[in-house]
Amino acid sequence: MNRRYFLYSFSFTAAAIIIGGCEKESGNNKAVEKLNESQKLPSKLSNTETAELFKPFTQELKIPDEINFGTIAKAKFNAQKSLVDIYKDKKTEVLTFQGELPNPTIRIKKGDNFALDFTNSLEKPTIIHWHGIIVPEEMDGHPKDAIDTQITKEYKYKINQKSGTFWYHSHPHGRTGEEIYYGLSGLYIVEDDDEKKLNLPSGEFELPLIIQDRRFDKKANLIYKEIASDNNGVLGDIVLVNSTPFPYKNVKNTKYRLRILNASSARTYRLAFEGIESFALIGTDGGLLEEPIIVKDIVIAVAERIDIVIDFKDKKIGETVTLKTLGFKEASNFKTNQKYPSLGDTMDIMTFNITQLSTNNSANLPRKLSHILKTKESDASKVRTITMEVIGGGIWTLNKKPYDMNRIDDRVKLGSTEIWEIKNTIHMAHPFHIHGVQFQILDRTRDIDFPTDKGWKDTVLVMPVETVRIIIKFTMPGLFVYHCHILEHEDHAMMANFLVE
Ligand code: C2O
Ligand code: CU
Ligand code: CU
């Protein structure tokens, strides 16, 4: 008896694709369906092994320290082994950049210079990548630039894009999954004046939520891959938010801005709040949307970020709101490790306890958040097709070729605009990511409405046997990669090099 979370391993209504509802659009959208009542039931945590470790929702959400480039000129990261207390009174061996988890959040303003000395104190070569930030090739953290142990690399670049929520993580070839799993990643926030003027919730009312499902043994040690099917993607039963297992956060009854990053290995979440009907999506990978979209739940794949505003104003002191995943079994029917909840399972993630009345009567959300200039299809000078395929009975590939660091797979003209058709031939969804750009989504062949498709993206979830068309303008010269962001797929060859020249 080692399946857990079975209490609500409900079955979905016949083949219906149930995803983020969007009130505004619901009139013209066939795919948006109301959740039926049983799917709204709370899940119960029934994890026998880890029950010995701790009680869920008893540890307070950790908030990462911030490195603010408005006040410091240069930062220092040192990839190292560290012992940290993920569970109260227990030590877990992890990897960190500064000795603690969560790693610090980087905060920087558009136009400012980023400078950081990165030392590798691990036993193997590694490198840091600034996911979503458009930087010169030498600064991007391409796996070819991994530095040896005891070497220091200086990162220096200027922030030249609009505000948004990004991610930094290590990126050595073949070991990205393991290194991120053990800790090497953090949040990266870019601010700008346009966003400042909007008066979005800030300070204590702005919370970063880095979501990662993990596996632990009874002694609080992390466990990574256990069996062959883990190569399809490592799924865990303990959800960490900011390196805190199933945390709680005390809040006031007002608006909060949540910057959510899915930094898991393989799990796609369909996030909803038990106790709050709907919330506003205000931003995606590359920054703010044009206007808020009201949703009841939202799908977030690995590497995607969502910026949302949730309002606790109708809640009374003593009430609790639970952030959970409703499960997203549409993402895959692949075999996964049976010991852990599958993609379709419901899991509670964290609770918000309303403990104080708010004196700050938060302003209404602005109707207009930003302007997104649509890239015209007629601007595209080339259409490129990228197929996602499994070859040789178990190698994840793009265009049937396992990644080779020394092969240039695509050449793109600097300054040009292209349409990429990402064609998924596999019965499993893959979050497709491109370095060095932010792109727009033109359309997808499956009848699905992801509200995040409307914003700037650097990662797009391509559903099973689906083709997604995206449009990209290439503004940064150099050699970059594109890859699947399920970390076990990325490490096992689902990646390619492209040269912008
Ligand atoms: Cu999150 Cu190659 O990137
Ligand atoms: Cu990236
Ligand atoms: Cu994949």
**pLDDT tens digit string along 17-67?**
222 223 233 332 222 232 232 333 234 444 445 666 778 999 999 999 999
For residue 85, which phi and psi values (nearest 5 degrees)? -105, 85
Residue 433 Cα to ligand 1 middle (Å): 7
Q: Is 305 touching ligand 1 by the criterion CB < 6 Å?
A: no
Residue 175 Cβ contacting ligand 1 at under 6 Å: no
Block residue for tokens 């990897």 = 95
Cβ–ligand 1 contact at 173 (below 6 Å): no
Query: Which pLDDT score, from 0 to 100, does residue 111 have?
Result: 98
Regarding the beta carbon of 131 and ligand 1, being less than 6 Å apart is answered yes
Centroid of ligand 2 to alpha carbon of 171 (angstroms)? 9
Q: Are 222 and 181 in contact (CB under 8 A)?
A: yes
The DSSP code sequence of 345-400 is --EEEEEEEEEE--SS-PPPPPS-----PPPPGGG--EEEEEEEEEETTTEEEETT
Please work out whether the CB of residue 486 comes within 6 Å of at least one atom of ligand 1.
no
Distance of alpha carbon 113 from alpha carbon 133, whole angstroms: 13
CA distance 396 to 394: 6
| pLDDT score, position 363 | 73
Measured between alpha carbons, how far is 470 from 451 in angstroms, rounded to an integer? 15
Q: Residue 303, SS3?
A: coil
Which numbered atom of ligand 1 lies nearest the CA of 495?
Answer: 2
Please spell the DSSP secondary structure of 120-143, one letter per residue: E-SSS-B-EEEET----GGGTT-G
Residue closest by Cα to atom 3 of ligand 1: 131
* Residue bearing the CA closest to ligand 1, atom 1: 131
Ligand nearest to the CA of 483: 1
pLDDT at residue 392, as a whole number: 87
Sequential pLDDT tens for the chain (501 residues): 233 332 222 222 222 222 222 323 333 222 223 223 233 323 444 444 566 677 899 999 999 999 999 999 999 999 999 999 999 989 999 999 999 999 999 999 999 999 999 999 999 999 999 999 999 999 999 999 999 999 999 999 999 999 999 999 999 999 999 999 999 999 999 999 999 999 999 999 999 999 999 999 989 999 999 999 999 999 999 999 999 999 999 999 999 999 999 999 999 999 999 999 999 999 999 999 999 999 999 999 999 999 999 999 999 999 999 999 999 999 998 888 989 999 999 999 999 999 999 876 667 899 999 999 999 999 999 999 999 999 988 899 999 999 999 999 999 999 999 999 999 999 999 999 999 999 999 999 999 999 999 999 999 999 999 999 999 999 999 999 999 999 999 999 999 999 999
User: Within 13 Å and on the Cβ side, how many CA atoms surround 150?
Assistant: 0
Does the C-beta of 433 come closer than 6 Å to ligand 1? yes
pLDDT at site 6: 27
User: Measured from the CA of 481, which atom of ligand 1 is nearest?
Assistant: 2
State the pLDDT at residue 25: 32
Whether the CB of 169 sits within 6 Å of ligand 1: yes
Residue in 494, 486, 266 with CA at minimum distance from that of residue 397: 494
The ligand 1 atom nearest the CA atom of 483: 2
Output the CA 137–ligand 3 centroid distance in Å.
24
